[in-house]
Amino acid sequence: MNNMIITLAKGIVGESNVKTDEPMSSHTTFRVGGAADLYITPQNESQLASLIKLFRQFKVEFHVIGNGSNLLVGDRGVRGAVIEIGRNLSSIEVSKNMVTAQSGVLLSRLANSAAGNGLAGLEFASGIPGSFGGAIYMNAGAYGGEMKDIITEVVYLDENCKICTVSGEDCGFGYRKSMFTDSDKIILRGTLRLQTDEIDEIKARMQELTRRRVEKQPVDKASAGSTFKRPEGYYAAALIEESGLKGYSHGGASVSEKHAGFVVNNGNATAEDVRNVIKHVQKTVKEKFGVDLNTEVKFLGEF
């Protein structure tokens, strides 16, 4: 990484918020991955915009992440810069039945905040281990709910770092996708429309969903959540289990014995181990059922 770029980045966010050769295994829920050339934690939206302008001006490759919950980072690391917004861009504002939050806030915190204010509709997301921005990006969903059901507005930086606003209905939400997916737009914050309800009843529903997750999902092991998208007309976990792959392992990674839709790190996996398990599952399911399994997990960096 060019020393001038590092110096300019430090001038924007402060020296303590810029790290070089930072291991990504410390910043992803898979707990694997090599080092990022540059790892930066901006303190606010203005610093974020300034960083992006800098990197685009000097043609430095960069990636914006939240909680690192849907990423598989290669063992050889990430060239360029990783900008992590989960730590600082995480404010929440509540006004009547509307909740506006910055993209870095954890979904669990956002759901608990809504519940504490007697607002229902976000319970489905309370156990998803990602950030609000990531949830909008991929239209995250669980237990019958999706972000598209409650998003009314999203504020983002466009390709020219101009602040733009789009309504929820114009976000292009589909199954695990939105207008932001695979684009150069950077989500800053979003607004939710929720419904009033009794706090105790909302929290009871969240507790029940937590119980169901703990019972059915391998929450005790490092993973990126559900590994595969649901293929049309099928369930990924059922196809994997019927292929005899439950428990299949390569190195320190395996298909979960508890839920076949999850690839997990058993404690000593490499990114290559995880990728090999994913590839084997995809190949076997294709051969047996003729179905393509696409990943929810995003691959980042060099493998």
Concatenate the DSSP letters of all residues of 186-255 into one string. Answer: EEEEEEEE-EE--HHHHHHHHHHHHHHHHHHS-TTSEE-S--B---TTS-HHHHHHHTT-TT-EETTEEE
Q: Which regions of the chain are under pLDDT 50? A: none
Burial class of residue 170 (count of CB atoms within 10 Å of its CB; 0-12, 13-18, 19+): exposed
Could you tell me the fold of the domain covering 3-84? 3.30.43
Alpha carbons 11 and 9: distance in angstroms, whole number: 5
Tell if the pTM clears 0.85, that is, is over it: yes
Query: Which residue, among 164, 128, 159, 129, has the nearest Cα to 145 in the 3D structure?
Result: 128
Task: Yes or no: say if 263 and 299 are a contact pair by the CB < 8 Å rule.
Answer: no
CATH of domain 92-215: 3.30.465.10
CA gap 62, 2 in Å, rounded: 14
Whether 193 is a known active-site residue: answer no
Q: Annotated catalytic residue: which of 25, 126, 146, 176?
A: 176
pLDDT of residue 1: 77
pLDDT of residue 48: 97
- Please say whether the beta carbons of 133 and 187 come within 8 A: yes
> How would CATH label the architecture of 218-300?
Alpha-Beta Complex (3.90)
Residue-level pLDDT at 120 = 97
Active site (annotated) includes residue 93: no
Phi/psi for 136 (5° steps) reads -65, -45
> Is 296 part of the annotated catalytic residue set?
yes
Q: Which of 103, 223, 226, 256 is catalytic?
A: 226
- Domain spans of the chain, in order of start: 3-84, 92-215, 218-300
Annotated active-site residue in 242, 257, 272, 296: 296
